[in-house]
Amino acid sequence: MTLSWLPGVPFGIADVFDILATAMLVYYFLLLIRGTRAVPIIFGICVLLIVLAAANSFHLLVLATLMQVVLLGTAVTLPIVFQPELRRFLEQLGRGGMIARREAADEAASLEEAVSVLARAAVQLSRSGVGALVAVEGATGLREFVESGTRLDARLSLELLLSIFMPRSPLHDGAVIVKGMTVEAAGCFFPLSDNVLTESHLGTRHRAAIGLTEQTDAVVLVISEQSGAVSVARQGKLSRELDDESRLRTVLLACCRAARGGRPQRAPSGSRFGRRKVASA
């Protein structure tokens, strides 16, 4: 069966599905890169294309040749530059992240309970001047980071978190990974972000929190050992001044719900990712 949307131009049902599928792919790609460093890079490539087109139009052979070489080199490096975006895109395809999912009632209750425990623990650790780093797993699994620490598979509780982050605890300097109401592991290592943190009190823990959220959709809770300030990291960004328990619980719950909702995640705002390093400062 064919349709005719312009005189003399056949238009089949397969073409309709082709256009819709392509439009959907482009739409989710734009959602994926919205607000990320990929946007200015794409604009920069568009500028190069415009310069190349102008050089060809005005027969500027040297400039056109130079632009062709630059664009060729850019095309070769694009998979490297957009590695985080491509990784997230493929992860979401693999876990069905392009299809909206409803959060089950029991999962919602478990999430609220976990966030409540984390908020109370963060406030107590902050008041005691104890540093901590806790990652709440989202839709993307954190198994490779779980394997870098000590496996616990223990039920999340206030007492457990406080004991883990006690200054003399052997797991104090590492990070805790939480999935639902389960503490999967402690003493874990996260990748450090290469973003420049100008504030002197933002140390290795904050870089590790930002680094993990640059690569995954996890939500990371950070308590500074120097100042006791409580922060939450998500999508490579840090929300600070969350020392109030009620406000912290609200922010954590909103971030965790967004992470579990399978929404496209923003890419890192930094330039590159660091390798695994101990999150100790």
DSSP string covering 95-159: TTTTS--PPPHHHHHHHHHHHHHHHHHHHHHHHHT--EEEEE--SS--HHHHTTSEEEEEE--HH
Beta bridge partners of 3: 11
Q: Say if residue 71 is in the same domain as residue 185.
A: no
Q: What is the pTM assigned to this prediction?
A: 0.60
**Would residue 260 count as lying in a domain?**
yes
pLDDT digits (tens, 9 = 90+) for 207-243: 899 989 988 889 999 999 888 899 999 988 888 878 8
Q: What is the CATH number of the domain that holds 167?
A: 3.40.1700.10
Question: Which residues lie closer than 8 Å to 131 by C-beta, 6 or more apart?
Answer: 125, 165, 205, 223, 224, 225, 226
Which stretch of 43-47, 199-203, 219-223, 261-265 has the lowest confidence by average pLDDT? 261-265
Give the per-residue pLDDT at 58: 93
pLDDT at 274 over 50: no
Final residue before a domain boundary, out of 30, 63, 94: 94
Q: What is the pLDDT averaged over residues 253-278?
A: 53
Question: Which residues lie closer than 8 Å to 220 by C-beta, 6 or more apart?
Answer: 133, 134, 135, 136, 175, 190, 208, 209, 210, 212, 213, 232, 233, 234
Q: Say if residue 138 is in the same domain as residue 260.
A: yes
Q: Say if residue 168 is in the same domain as residue 52.
A: no
Beta bridge partners of 239: 232
Q: Say if residue 32 is in the same domain as residue 121.
A: no
Q: Say if residue 204 is in the same domain as residue 88.
A: no
**Would residue 239 count as lying in a domain?**
yes
Q: Say if residue 194 is in the same domain as residue 222.
A: yes
pLDDT at 34 over 80: no
Please state, in angstroms and as integers, the Cα–Cα distance from residue 239 to each residue in 23, 72, 252, 254, following that order.
34, 39, 10, 12
Give the per-residue pLDDT at 12: 74
Highest mean pLDDT, choosing among 101-110, 127-136, 233-242: 127-136
Q: Where are the alpha helices (DSSP H) in the chain?
A: 13-33, 38-57, 61-81, 83-94, 105-128, 143-146, 158-164, 204-215, 245-260
Q: Say if residue 63 is in the same domain as residue 152.
A: no
| More confident call, 266 vs 251 | 251
Confidence of residue 85 (pLDDT cuts 50, 70, 90): low
Tally of structural domains, the chain:
2
Q: Say if residue 65 is in the same domain as residue 117.
A: no
Q: Say if residue 191 is in the same domain as residue 221.
A: yes
Per-residue DSSP letter, 256? H
Q: What is the pLDDT averaged over residues 253-274?
A: 56
* CB-count exposure of residue 44 (10 Å: 0-12, 13-18, 19+): exposed
pLDDT at 80 over 90: no
Q: What is the pLDDT averaged over residues 179-207?
A: 80
Per-residue DSSP letter, 84? H
**Would residue 217 count as lying in a domain?**
yes
pLDDT at 123 over 90: yes
Phi, psi of 3 (to 5 degrees): -115, 165
**Would residue 175 count as lying in a domain?**
yes
- Name the percent of the chain lying above pLDDT 70: 75
**Would residue 134 count as lying in a domain?**
yes
Give the per-residue pLDDT at 64: 92
Which structural domain, as residue segments, surrounds residue 41?
Answer: 2-94
Question: Would you say 224 and 203 are in contact if contact means Cβ atoms under 8 Å apart?
Answer: yes
Q: Say if residue 184 is in the same domain as residue 82.
A: no
Q: Say if residue 32 is in the same domain as residue 169.
A: no
**Would residue 100 count as lying in a domain?**
no
Q: Say if residue 188 is in the same domain as residue 259.
A: yes
Final residue before a domain boundary, out of 94, 127, 143: 94
